[in-house]
Every structure is written in structure tokens, then in C-alpha cells.
């Protein structure tokens, strides 16, 4: 799908924010500022409603060390060798869901981790074998549910086969 004009403006704003900080790569902080600068987008309106302001966000991002692309997430409970691919939030369970992928999907399987917003450490979902990936998580804000795919890598590691779909009650 082609990018909407709104998305193109957000990306352009993110590039301007990275340039303003003399940073060569556009990181998540720059994208966040780009969203805040696009005042009429849905995400910016939601953030504004909860008190997030561009000036405040800029100050926090300017004082934070620049994000290194490809670096592993820095959070208790997360393994080395992975990068963050997708982050979801389920408001019904107040849970963060993190999908981690290796830089080369054929070296390490994709893993899913969860943590309650009041807890510092993540916990891995399940205990899948090394030839199984849990991926493509989706959640529903109104219910404490998480649904994800299970993919099984073939022995030659030349591809993967869909193994099944799982649902998880985040409250239990």
C-alpha cells in the first residue's frame, strides 16, 4: 500500500528532528516527535489528550542517548541477540507484548515476551523449541487477549511452515 500524505509528513518531520539533533539515522524518538508535529493525526490527538506535549517530548529525547540501530533491547528478562520488532499494549490487562526477532531470522527464532506495566522484567510466552517461532501478535484493547501464529522452521532452515494459531488470556 502506498503511504498516505499524513504518513509522508510524519516521516519528513522525523527526518527534520534527526537532522536537528545531528543524528544520521531516524530512530523511534524521531518518529514519535514526527507524530506529535502532525497535530491533526489520530495518534497526536490521543497523546495530546493525555498531556504529552511536543516541547516536553523533545527535551526528553534530546537528553537521551541516541538509539543504536540493531542493538538488543535493554530490559530485564530479554535475551541477547534479538531486536525489537513489534510492541503492543493491551489496556484490558495493562500488559506490554513485545515481539523480538534476530537480525537474521534463520539464526534465532522469533519470540514473544510480556510484562505488566507495573513490572520491570519481561517473561517469555511459553517454552517453544528452537525450531518454532511465535510471531505476528495481535491483541484486543477491550479484552485481555493475545493471539499469535506459530511457525515451524524446516530442518534445512530454508523456510518455515505455519504450525498453528494460539490465543492467550493475559489475565491468567
Residue 109: which pLDDT band, with cuts at 50, 70 and 90? confident
Same domain, 104 and 163: yes
Answer whether residue 140 is part of any domain.
Answer: yes
Confidence at residue 32, expressed as pLDDT on a 0 to 100 scale: 92
What is the mean pLDDT of the segment spanning 164-171? 92
> What pLDDT, in 10s, does the model give residues 33-81?
999 999 999 999 999 888 899 998 888 888 776 554 444 456 778 887 7
Confidence at residue 78, expressed as pLDDT on a 0 to 100 scale: 81
Number of domains in the chain: 2
What is the mean pLDDT of the segment spanning 5-20? 91
- More confident position, 29 or 1: 29
Asked whether 14 and 31 are in contact (CB, 8 A), the reply is: yes
Which CATH number fits the domain that encloses residue 12? 1.10.1780.10
What is the spatial distance between Cα 154 and Cα 20, in angstroms, rounded to a whole number?
Answer: 46
Answer whether residue 77 is part of any domain.
Answer: no
For 31-66, b/e burial (b = at least 16 CB within 10 A) is bbbbbbbbeebeebeebeeeeeebeebbeebeeeee
- More confident position, 28 or 33: 33
> What pLDDT, in 10s, does the model give residues 116-162?
988 888 999 999 988 888 989 999 888 999 999 998 876 655 566 88
Segments forming the whole domain that contains residue 132: 82-169
Confidence at residue 69, expressed as pLDDT on a 0 to 100 scale: 43
Same domain, 127 and 154: yes
Amino acid at each position: 500500500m502506498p503511504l498516505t500524505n499524513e504518513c509522508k509528513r510524519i516521516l519528513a518531520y522525523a527526518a527534520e528532528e534527526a537532522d536537528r539533533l545531528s543524528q544520521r539515522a531516524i530512530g523511534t524518538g524521531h518518529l514519535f516527535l514526527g507524530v506529535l508535529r502532525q497535530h491533526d493525526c489520530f495518534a497526536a490527538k490521543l497523546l495530546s489528550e493525555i498531556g504529552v506535549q511536543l516541547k516536553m517530548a523533545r527535551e526528553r529525547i534530546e537528553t537521551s542517548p541516541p538509539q543504536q540501530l540493531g542493538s538488543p533491547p535493554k530490559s530485564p528478562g530479554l535475551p541477547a541477540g534479538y531486536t525489537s520488532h513489534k510492541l503492543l499494549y493491551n489496556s484490558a490487562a495493562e500488559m506490554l507484548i513485545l515481539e523480538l526477532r534476530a537480525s537474521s531470522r534463520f539464526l534465532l527464532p522469533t519470540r514473544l515476551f510480556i510484562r505488566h506495566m507495573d513490572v520491570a522484567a519481561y517473561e517469555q510466552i511459553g517454552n517453544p523449541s528452537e525450531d518454532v517461532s511465535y510471531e505476528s501478535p495481535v491483541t484486543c484493547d477491550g479484552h485481555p487477549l493475545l493471539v499469535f501464529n506459530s511457525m515451524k522452521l524446516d530442518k534445512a532452515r530454508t523456510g518455515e511452515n505455519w504450525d498453528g494459531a494460539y490465543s492467550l488470556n493475559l489475565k491468567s
